[in-house]
Amino acid sequence: MRNGYDFRWILILSALFTFSDASSQTVNQELSNVFNELWKLDVNRLKPGTHYNISLQGKAGYIPQGSTSAVDHASSPLFTSVDEAKLNSITTYARFMKLLDNYERSTGVAERVTADEVTENNSFLDAVLETAVMKRAHRYLIGKGKSRSDLRQFKSQLYYMWFRLYHRDRNGGEDSSGFEHVFVGETKFGREIMGLHNWVQFYLQEKQELLDYKGYKARDNDAPNDDDHVLNVQFSWHGLVKPVASAFVGVSPEFEMAIFTILFLTSTEKTTTAVVNLDEYQLEMVVHRHGRSIGTAYPKLLSSNNRHV
């Protein structure tokens, strides 16, 4: 009998050590390093308490996907104030905001892109490419052999990834793009919110009373703070509810575009995930591809305030 117990203990200890070793390998250190470089270079990141204020209020409850109602655990908007003059004074934000009304919300409705909208897309990318954040991302991708050093070719690569129209709903025309899904948001069959992972769009939709913040999502031992730059939230938008959405808060559009571009181009998987330690947060970064374009991209908050350390 003792030999049997010894063998079982050996198996258990072996499993524990294997688990410990595996867990230590889960964080992608290379991506963590380059993303933290980009974080430090993001001089256009807004400061909580100075350039904007949020009110987290209550913790949202569980609701299934496809719900049209949810108990509201936040009687007030998430954003209590945003310095719009500051936003408009920064070129990338100002040009970014011009793009937010260029899309049809519903999938299945073909997008019609005007010449003026193409000009706006290019103007935004030109501004992004001038930032230290995207310049560093470009150098990293050149080093990985994933992008050409020629700036025009890199811009074309970014345009195809983010702005190329494609079919998300097979019944309609070209009705979606990576930019629309991630930064603007879409609805599917009038029953489901898709995308909308950008804090500026969230704020602007709240301001127009089209979006209603329902509360934050977090584990009991990891409640967020008002100065956090990454949040999991629940909200309703045009009569539909998103059970949980993850988004950066306060970061610049070039930062988001840079990190998701790196994750997308350094993998060939249909869905790519990577756990990274970024500033005081541990995140699971997710990118889903639609051919050579981005289908969706978002950060999933695993822990904040260095609780993972």
Cα 241 versus chain centre, distance: 18
H or E stretch at 277: strand 271-278
The pLDDT confidence band at residue 63, using thresholds 50, 70 and 90, is: confident
**Which is the catalytic residue, given 214, 217, 242, 290?**
242
Tell me which residue of 208, 212, 194 sits closest to 106, measured CA to CA: 194
> What is the reported pLDDT for 304?
82
Q: How does DSSP classify residue 166? A: B
The pLDDT confidence band at residue 220, using thresholds 50, 70 and 90, is: confident
> What is the reported pLDDT for 167?
62
In single-letter form, the type of residue at position 186 comes to E
- 76-109 residues labelled b (16+ CB within 10 A) or e (exposed): ebbbeebebeebeebbbbebbbbbbebbbeebbe
Model pLDDT for residues 251-291, shown as the tens digit of each residue: 999 999 999 999 999 999 999 999 999 999 999 999 999 88
**What six digits make up the tokens of 245?**
């959405």
The pLDDT confidence band at residue 22, using thresholds 50, 70 and 90, is: very low
Q: Which is higher by pLDDT, 144 or 67?
A: 144
Q: What is the average pLDDT score of the chain? A: 86
**Which is the catalytic residue, given 181, 214, 217, 229?**
181
Told to judge if 59 belongs to the known catalytic residues of this protein, a careful annotator would answer no
The pLDDT confidence band at residue 172, using thresholds 50, 70 and 90, is: low
> What is the reported pLDDT for 43?
98
**What six digits make up the tokens of 52?**
């904007």
* Cross-strand partners of 294: 289
pTM more than 0.75: yes
What is residue 221's three-state secondary structure?
A: coil
**Which is the catalytic residue, given 138, 197, 229, 290?**
197
The pLDDT confidence band at residue 192, using thresholds 50, 70 and 90, is: confident
CA distance 260 to 283: 13
CA distance 95 to 71: 36
CA distance 222 to 84: 31
Told to judge if 242 belongs to the known catalytic residues of this protein, a careful annotator would answer yes
Told to judge if 197 belongs to the known catalytic residues of this protein, a careful annotator would answer yes
Burial (CB < 10 A; 0-12, 13-18, 19+), residue 270, is exposed
Tell me which residue of 54, 297, 274, 39 sits closest to 184, measured CA to CA: 297
* Contact by Cβ (8 Å): 176, 166: yes
> What is the reported pLDDT for 20?
35
In single-letter form, the type of residue at position 161 comes to M
- Which residues neighbour 233 within 8 Å (Cβ) at sequence distance 6 or greater? 60, 78, 213, 214, 215, 216, 217, 244, 245, 246, 247
